Amino acid sequence: MSVTAAILIIGNEILSGRTQDVNTQFIAERLSARGIKLREVRVVPDDEAAVVAAVRALASAYTYVFTTGGIGPTHDDITAACMAKAFDAKLEINAEAKALMQAYYDAKGAEMTEGRLRMARIPQGAALIENSVSAAPGFKIKNVYVMAGIPDIMQAMFLSLEPELAKGKPVLSRTVGGRLLESEIADALGDIQDRYPDVEIGSYPAMGRANPHVNIVLRSTDGEKLAAATELVIAMAKKFDKS
């Protein structure tokens, strides 16, 4: 079974360059280890129409969608409302979420403000995603997992939901490196790719070295085809190596 996924990053701060996205790498690595194929990553602004359109498109195309950002306490945190609209669900104060947050703030001797209460707004019928860092939960609606944008909170949320995700075939990987020039190996590498379409082959030059260096990474769920393609790449690399 092929299990696929997309990541939807929501927030003006990412598009402006003010905040660096570090969540994609974490999610991608965890998905790969589980055999889930990440097929698309999108970044959209804090704009209702853009978020709703992206959610609907991605949810219909992939097994899972993971969103980050926009579930905080301020006016520009619109993700929960967008999810409700995308799936024609009522947005409401979730009693379980409110109780979790009330207990958290009571323990800290802090007040449950209106802003904090906004983080308990969950689309009707959605399941909560545990937040072991700051209590305010994420949620799952249909096949969409809605998580915070703050990396340590997002990671805690993802790790709590991860066990329920289906597993695909593990993706195996091999790397062949050498003193190579991409311009010289391009045709030969393309021929190998044509012979093994089920093996993903990527060429990655290392910059900043005194001598040219290229790493060729091969990835596949088929171990035999991966091994065969790797042997051809090794032979090709020896032919063109500048050592």
Domain boundary among 112, 131, 164: 164
DSSP 221: S
Q: pTM for this one?
A: 0.89
Helix or strand holding residue 129 (H, E)? strand 127-129
Buried b (16+ CB within 10 A) or exposed e, 19-30: eebebeeebbeb
- 88 shares a domain with 19: yes
- 189 shares a domain with 145: no
Residue-wise pLDDT tens digits, 124-146:
999 999 999 999 999 999 999 99
DSSP 127: E
Residue-wise pLDDT tens digits, 28-86:
999 999 999 999 999 999 999 999 999 999 999 999 999 999 999 999 899 999 999 99
- 143 shares a domain with 180: no
For residue 26, the domain's CATH number is 3.40.980.10
